[in-house]
Amino acid sequence: MTNYNFRFWHYGLIITALLSGFLGYNLWLGDKRVFISGPPTHGHHQIEMACTSCHGEGFSDATVMQNACESCHLDALDKFSDTHPKSKFTDPRNAELLSHLDATQCVSCHREHKPEITRAYGVTLAKDFCAHCHQDIAEERDSHKDFGFETCTNSGCHNYHDNTALYENFLRKHANEPALGKKPKIPALTGLIEWTKKNKQTPALQQQDADAPLENSNQKIVSQWALSHHAIANVNCTQCHSQNENWQSKGTALTIDSCVECHIKQNESFKQGKHGMRLADRLSGQLSPMSPTLATLPMHKDAMQRVNTCVSCHDPHQPDLTFAATDACLACHNDEHSANFYNSKHGQLWRDSQNGLLPVEQAVSCATCHMPRLKKGKKVHAEHNQNANLQPNSKMIRSVCSHCHGVEFTLEALASEAQIQSNFSNSLEGHHSSMDLVRDRIEQRKKQ
């Protein structure tokens, strides 16, 4: 009996030591996913290995997690006038609402690692959570009496955080628009193109001005650089390739850090989107750049080893904004929506522009919709945060779709998963029930 107990404890200690070693190794150097209770939502899967970015050191309290959420998302919510800000629920007049739903905490609705209760956009609450505060809506609005609370967000009516393009006054203003406007209203040209046009006569660096060390000079690359926007802007080789006065090769130098000094706004928005979020300042040094191998959408097999930095889409020696607008995207993305681009009406417009049949400013590329040009005053720049108008996709109405299409047509297109997957290749009726409600309200007001 004594020998048996001795062996039992002996093996127990060995197993405990092995298990501790395995967990300790994975905690510090190995695969941290062994500690995760479930997969993250699609918006956060890229940063799941940077556990402390959300949980803090030692998995701190809820305040730390709330601060982590706000560090990434608060600017966007403030920018688009969050319709359910924290202040609405901390107002004493609404204090009772918090007893049903603590809307002051992001994790009340958005929770990671709970796939069994997670729905679209990372929402983990029941589909009728709107009922907690809006149970009297059927009495207040007769038009809503036949709607279930599960339809609030899926019918093109409401976006919990941002109703910029879905509130009634906006819809009423655009109630009778045609499916396609007479003239696109896409902001014309980015600051780079405008600057290049204005500075064509400015003395630019020539091929013989290249300051790359002779032993590192590649005459083909130098000749490409001499015709580029960088040469026009008097940006020489060492301004990108030199670090601490030492020449750096393409493989080590031309990362996002090489571009940030001049392209500050683009860098900031790039790091907010899925392409660049792993390089965000708060994650500095913790994660490698995004790669197609980490994507949840289908990607081309020959693109798997690429990494997402500025030079993934923009060749610094031969910048080509036309290539970056579509071909750079389709070189990696192989999902149904992307694969159908050239079969769509938008794709045909893009082909026409490439063949000289249509001004490129009137064509529709991948970037036109997912990285739209934003105009602020007289300045126009491309939004490099491609997440900004993706989910919920109703955010695209103002920033993208309504530049060319009527709002009702847009609502129908964005509400159809089949249309989205076909890249809007199929015909549409241009009718949406939300606009019926708006028109009914218009008629009611006329009779009053």
124: in domain: no
> What values do phi and psi take at 268, rounded to 5?
-60, -45
Identify whether the C-beta of residue 310 lies closer than 8 Å to the C-beta of residue 259: yes
Query: Which pairs with CB-CB distance under 8 Å and at least 24 residues apart come from 259-263?
Result: 259/310, 259/311, 259/316, 262/235, 263/310
pLDDT of residue 253: 44
Give CA–CA dist 171/165, Å, rounded: 7
Closest CA to 97 of 131, 137, 122: 131
407: in domain: yes
Q: Which residues contact 48 (CB under 8 A, 6 or more apart)?
A: 33, 36, 39, 40
pLDDT of residue 331: 95
Domain count, the chain: 1
pTM: 0.83
183: in domain: no
218: in domain: yes
Residue 12 token pair: 């127990």
Handedness of CA 326, 327, 332, 337 (dihedral sign): positive
Q: What is the DSSP string of 65-84?
A: HHHHHHHHHHHHHHHTT-SS
Series of mean pLDDT values for 10-residue runs along the chain (448 residues): 56 71 60 71 84 77 87 84 84 81 87 84 80 86 84 77 86 90 74 69 80 78 87 86 73 65 87 90 83 92 90 85 91 96 94 90 89 81 87 87 92 91 89 88 83
263: in domain: yes
Range of the domain at 317: 191-421
* Burial tier of 14 (Cβ tally within 10 Å: 0-12, 13-18, 19+): exposed
Q: What is the DSSP string of 254-292?
A: -SHHHHTTT-HHHHHHHTTSTTTGGG-GGGTTTSPPP-G
211: in domain: yes
15: in domain: no
69: in domain: no
